[in-house]
Structures are given as structure tokens and as C-alpha cells.
């Protein structure tokens, strides 16, 4: 009996270690074979598929990575990258990845702050949407269809070529992909007038787990609700949005005014909290806080607040309004510039307003530094003493390339119900904070040092920001808030981060996920779980 048991154990050992389950390379080859079988054009498929054996593989992978933290050799890489040129190829990719036990990561512009659109701990395939970037503008209907591989800059440029008085309310960074931006909500300089980008979506094209191509009518209102602010990657692959364009004046006004702490910036920031959320909808004044070098013989770093603004009107209307509502800021006529709406997108994208509009079509970012980000919502003004403690943290060396972006709410954001879309951060919020820390040294030590500084700063602000939960913005994804297990995350576990992004809307998102992807095929470290994915496996 003992001999039989030993023999059985030896045999089991040999089976497991000498005859393993199908390897990753087997999955890759089977996936490629599956794609080839399903394709009518073998040459076309070969032109859009990249494996580690292709000379272009690494350049394609890194072309849309916007955070060098995730370019190290230790970062898991995809078995295959596919750059489809039409929707039917995505249907085939979904079928073949499911058949061969691979996961999908969908990449639009590559700005995912934690790199989840191009990395995974399990064998995976990247669907890179770069070739799906067609934009069609209908001037008469004041709408546009935009494929999700297009960038915001490409969208703004295309609209501007058809009209000076139509626009779209979305983000400031022109290289951000339309797909991910809108699926997380998407905000920009016109959010106080028109709300989020997702508030202005009227239809979509979507490929589900069964490979079906759906539009708003065929997917149903629950799924259409979920993908406009709930993060599309949890539910399937969004291939296009139909957006409602908004009317703007032919001429708008921009200004940028900077003040250091020595120039009373703390008091101005404190006052801004009371003023900015209550201004007319046509006026946005945001704040960017960073450290700058002093001029003169003794160069040093000092903290500076820049008040950056868009007014949907002429300067002659803006100046009296500022004098009435925020005279302390001291904005002068020479600080202001009248431009077209599309020129204002250059300004908010860190380009000179006179720059050639073609720069908006570039997919190359102005900088590509290592960074870590977090987000907060502020519901009560932070007292001046709160800022004084914050500046002490900012005096540290790790903050030399840090930045805080404050976007005021109010206006249209105050009017929209928190359940209208998955994005819940509406009426009760004064403003949103984006925390950023950048660095340019490679290596784990530099990353750890700067990320720890960010976490300490975030902890310091706890008494001053939203509570129960401490809210966050899903497009500024932050894995510090919690992560899913690879395949058996419970509702309770996912709630740790889900409630912070979506508040009470998280429950409805889970119900939609359970309905459209019950086996949790589309998943990542912070994807919406189906309700019963955990107990089915335990």
C-alpha cells in the first residue's frame, strides 16, 4: 500500500512539473491561429498583430505609455498587441481571448494613471485602438461620432475645422484618448457650463463579451448608463461615442495670473474656495499649485498658485464681474486674452494660444515623467491654517516637481443628480483636487520616496476633504484605495474602492455587470465585479 502511494506521488510530481498545463506560448499561438481562422484577410491580420518576436513590438507597446513607472523590464508585458482597423476584428479578438484563457486590456490614449490599460499580472492581449480614430461632425444636427482611439486634441481640431461656434466640453490634455476619458466621466474648462463629457453623450457603439456590436437601443439604458462614467473596461469594448456638441461664442476670454506665498497666495486660495464654485456658469477659475524657481542671485524653490480661467464671453464683460466677485485677485485687462474656443484648448493644454492648431492632432505628450496621482473632493472650505501645514510638506525635496490642480464645481454640476450617471460627485462639492508628484530619476528607490511623500500629503489632508467615504475620481485611478483579486473578488472587497469612486451608484454598476458579463471576463485590478463572482468560485 505504501509503495502504491509513493508511486502515485512520484507520478503526480512528474505530471505537474514535467508535463505542465498549456504554457503561455501555447496560448499565444492558439490565439493567433484562432484570429487567422476567423479572418477573411490573412495579410491584413498580420499587419495589425504584434508579438514579442516582432521588431516593432516594443515601440508599439511603449508608444502610448504615459507613465514611465510602467516601462521597466519587470512590468508584465502582453503576449500579443492588436491594433484593429475595424470593429469586426475586435469581435474576433474577444472570441479568441475567451477561447484561449487570455485577458484583454483595452488602450485608447494610454493615460491610465496606474497603467491598467497595458499591463496585467495574468496572460493578456492589448487591444490598442489607435487605428480607430475616425471623427464625423454633423453641423446641422450639432453632433459628432468619434471613435474611441481618437484623442481629445484630434476631436477639438476636427470640430474647429467645421465651426467656430460649436465645441465639446472635455479635458485639457490633448493627447488623452476619447475612449477612456468619457467612460470615466471626463471634465474640462467648460464643466460649470455644460457638465461632464459623459453628460453630453447620446449614443455609443459597444462590443460585449459575446462579441455582439451594440448601440444605445440594442444595449439598453442600464448598460448605456454604466459606460458613461462607470469605466467602460469593466463591461466590454467601446468603439465609438456619439456626442452632443455645445454652442459657444465666437470669442472667449482666457487669463492666467500667478501669485507666490510671499504675494499673499494663501489668502487668495482661501478666498477662491468661497468665490469660484458660486460664479456664473460662463466663468471657470481653476488653480494650479506648484513650486517654481526664484530669479536673482540666490535661486531657490518657492510655492506658487496660478489662477487659470476661461470665460465664455468678451473681456469687457469679464473684468467688471471679477471686480465685483473676486477683486483681491487683481486681474487686469493686460492679463486677459480674447481667443476662439479652440485656441482656449491650446491654452489649457499648455500650448501658446497662437500655436498652430495642428499640434492638437499630435499624440506625443509635452512631457513623459514618472508620476503618482491621487484625487479628492472638498465640501467645506479648508481653513488657512490647513494650508500652512500643507506648505510644510511642500517644502520637502520630494515636492520639487509636485502639483495640485483644483477644479471648481457649482454651475451645471450642481444641477445634475448624482445618480444621473455613475459619476456621483455633483451638488455637494466645492471643488476637486488632483494631487500629482513627478520625478525624473529611474529606479525603485526614487519611486518609493516620491510615492511615500504623496501618501503622507494625502493623509495630512484627511480632516479637510470629503468623508464617509473619502471620495475619488475614477479617471485618476489609484490602486492605493484597494484592488480586486485576480478572479474571485467579492462585492465587499470591491466596495473598498468602488464606493469611493461611485458612492451609491456602485450598487447599480454591480447589477449591470452581473447582467452583461456574469462570468467576469472583462476585469482588472479595479473593475466592477459581478454580484456572485465570488461565491460561484468558493
CA–CA distance, 196 with 173 (Å, rounded to integer): 15
What radius of gyration do the chain's Cα atoms show?
25
| 156 among known catalytic residues | no
Q: Which of 476, 491, 501, 532 is catalytic?
A: 476
DSSP-derived 3-state class of residue 156: helix
CA–CA distance, 19 with 26 (Å, rounded to integer): 13
Which residues are registered as beta bridge partners of 402? 437
Dihedral over alpha carbons 473, 478, 483, 489 (to 10 degrees):
20
Name the nearest CA neighbour of 424 among 501, 509, 496, 492: 501
Chain position carrying cell 454580484: 531
DSSP-derived 3-state class of residue 302: strand
DSSP-derived 3-state class of residue 333: helix
Name the nearest CA neighbour of 408 among 198, 215, 190: 190
Grid cell, residue 420, equals: 444621473
Name the nearest CA neighbour of 123 among 22, 237, 212, 235: 22
From residue 492, how far is each of 144, 227, 484, 531 by CA, in Å?
A: 40, 22, 10, 10
CA–CA distance, 216 with 225 (Å, rounded to integer): 9
Cβ pair 505, 198 in contact under 8 A:
no
Grid cell, residue 397, equals: 525635496
Chain position carrying cell 486677459: 336
CA–CA distance, 171 with 184 (Å, rounded to integer): 12
Cβ pair 48, 85 in contact under 8 A:
yes
Tell me the CB-side half-sphere exposure of residue 167, using CA atoms within 13 A. Answer: 24
Catalytic residues: 476
Amino acid at each position: 500500500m505504501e509503495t502504491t502511494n509513493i508511486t502515485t506521488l512520484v507520478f503526480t510530481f512528474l505530471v505537474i512539473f514535467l508535463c505542465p498545463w498549456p504554457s503561455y506560448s501555447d496560448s499565444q499561438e492558439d490565439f493567433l491561429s484562432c484570429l487567422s481562422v476567423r479572418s477573411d484577410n490573412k495579410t491584413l491580420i498580420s499587419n495589425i498583430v504584434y508579438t514579442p518576436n516582432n521588431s516593432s513590438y516594443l515601440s508599439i507597446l511603449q508608444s502610448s505609455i504615459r507613465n514611465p513607472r510602467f516601462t521597466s523590464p519587470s512590468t508584465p508585458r502582453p503576449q500579443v498587441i492588436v491594433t484593429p482597423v475595424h470593429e469586426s476584428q475586435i469581435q474576433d479578438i474577444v472570441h479568441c481571448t475567451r477561447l484561449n484563457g487570455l485577458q484583454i486590456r483595452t488602450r485608447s490614449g494610454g493615460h491610465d494613471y496606474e497603467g491598467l490599460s497595458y499591463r496585467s499580472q495574468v496572460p493578456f492581449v492589448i487591444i490598442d485602438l489607435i487605428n480607430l480614430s475616425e471623427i464625423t461632425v454633423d453641423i446641422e444636427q450639432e453632433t459628432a461620432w468619434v471613435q474611441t482611439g481618437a484623442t481629445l486634441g484630434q476631436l477639438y481640431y476636427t470640430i474647429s475645422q467645421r465651426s467656430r461656434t460649436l465645441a465639446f466640453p472635455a479635458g485639457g490634455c490633448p493627447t488623452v484618448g476619447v475612449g477612456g476619458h468619457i467612460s470615466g466621466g471626463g471634465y474640462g474648462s467648460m464643466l460649470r457650463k455644460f457638465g461632464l463629457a459623459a453628460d453630453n453623450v447620446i449614443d455609443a457603439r459597444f462590443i460585449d463579451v459575446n462579441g455582439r456590436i451594440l448601440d444605445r437601443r440594442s444595449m439598453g439604458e442600464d448598460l448605456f448608463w454604466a459606460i458613461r462614467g462607470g469605466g467602460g473596461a469593466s463591461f466590454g469594448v467601446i468603439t465609438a461615442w456619439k456626442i452632443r456638441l455645445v454652442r459657444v461664442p465666437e470669442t472667449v476670454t482666457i487669463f492666467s495670473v500667478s501669485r507666490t506665498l510671499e504675494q499673499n497666495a494663501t489668502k487668495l486660495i482661501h478666498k477662491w474656495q468661497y468665490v469660484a464654485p458660486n460664479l456664473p456658469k460662463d466663468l471657470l477659475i481653476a488653480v494650479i499649485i506648484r513650486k517654481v524657481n526664484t530669479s536673482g542671485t540666490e535661486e531657490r524653490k518657492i510655492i506658487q498658485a496660478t489662477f487659470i480661467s476661461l470665460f465664455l464671453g468678451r473681456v469687457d464683460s469679464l473684468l467688471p464681474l471679477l471686480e465685483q466677485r473676486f477683486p483681491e485677485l487683481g486681474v487686469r485687462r493686460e492679463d486677459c486674452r480674447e481667443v476662439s474656443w479652440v485656441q482656449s484648448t491650446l491654452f489649457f493644454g499648455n500650448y501658446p494660444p497662437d500655436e498652430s492648431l495642428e499640434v492638437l492632432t499630435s499624440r506625443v505628450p509635452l512631457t513623459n515623467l514618472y508620476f503618482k496621482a491621487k484625487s479628492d473632493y472638498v465640501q467645506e472650505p479648508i481653513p488657512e491654517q490647513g494650508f500652512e501645514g500643507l506648505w510644510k510638506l511642500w517644502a520637502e525635496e520630494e515636492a520639487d516637481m509636485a502639483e495640485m490642480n483644483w477644479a471648481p464645481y457649482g454651475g451645471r454640476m450642481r444641477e445634475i443628480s448624482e445618480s444621473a450617471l455613475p459619476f456621483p460627485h455633483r451638488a455637494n462639492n466645492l471643488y476637486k483636487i488632483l494631487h500629482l508628484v513627478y520625478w525624473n530619476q529611474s529606479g525603485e528607490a526614487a519611486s518609493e520616496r516620491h510615492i511615500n511623500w504623496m501618501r503622507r500629503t494625502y493623509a495630512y489632508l484627511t480632516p479637510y476633504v470629503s468623508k464617509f467615504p473619502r471620495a475619488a475620481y475614477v479617471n485618476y485611478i489609484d490602486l492605493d484605495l484597494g484592488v480586486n483579486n485576480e478572479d474571485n473578488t467579492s462585492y465587499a472587497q470591491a466596495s473598498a474602492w468602488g464606493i469611493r469612486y461611485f458612492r451609491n451608484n456602485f450598487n447599480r454598476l454591480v447589477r449591470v455587470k452581473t447582467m452583461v458579463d456574469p462570468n467576469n471576463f472583462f476585469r482588472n485590478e479595479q473593475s466592477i465585479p459581478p454580484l456572485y463572482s465570488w461565491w460561484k468560485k468558493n
